[in-house]
Amino acid sequence: MDAGRETDVDELLTELWRLAERFPIPDGSWHRYATELQYVAADFAAAVTALERPPEAVQELGRRLDDDAHPVGRGGRELTAAAARLEALPFPAGEHPFLDEIAVTAEAMRQTIAALASVDGGEEAFTAGRFKR
């Protein structure tokens, strides 16, 4: 990998970790979806961890961000479940104090999960990432 490409990958992973760490998780005592949000946040952290395993995963994510991706693969049971958990969350519309951050992070989650589902070894890396952190 050339130095420029390595820098791009490092910057992408740094930004994904920033989004994962800043994803707002509300207190369960007042937010009805706190538990679901915790699961989705854990899925995202596992997905970002998994991007570091099969080298094709980061490349596929880059293609997705450039609108030049392969069709989404089927993924396995764990990636399918993670995608379903994300899509099942009701996302706020209109005014919400974290709306911009939530929208960007949710799209990053979708694209990261789709990239992993589209490459060989993505499911295995995701599963291993769920237990790494």
- Is 74 a domain residue? yes
Helices (H), the chain: 3-22, 34-51, 55-65, 77-88, 99-117, 122-130
Burial 94-109 (b: 16+ CB within 10 A, else e): eeeeeeeebeebbebb
In this structure, is residue 65 part of a structural domain?
yes
Cα 57–chain centre separation: 12
Give me the domain span that covers residue 110.
Answer: 33-130
Cβ neighbors of 72 (< 8 A, separation 6 or more) are 114, 117, 118
Does any domain span residue 76? Answer: yes
**Contact partners, residue 2, CB within 8 Å, separation at least 6:** none
Per cent of the chain over pLDDT 90 is 38
Extended strands (E) in the chain: none
pLDDT tens-digit readout, 100-129: 777 888 999 999 999 999 899 999 999 997
Which tens digit of pLDDT belongs to each residue from 10-67?
A: 899 999 999 999 887 877 677 778 888 889 999 999 999 999 888 888 888 888 888 7
pTM to 2 decimal places:
0.84
Mean pLDDT for all residues in the chain: 83
Give me the number of domains the chain comprises. Answer: 1
Is there a domain that residue 8 lies in?
no
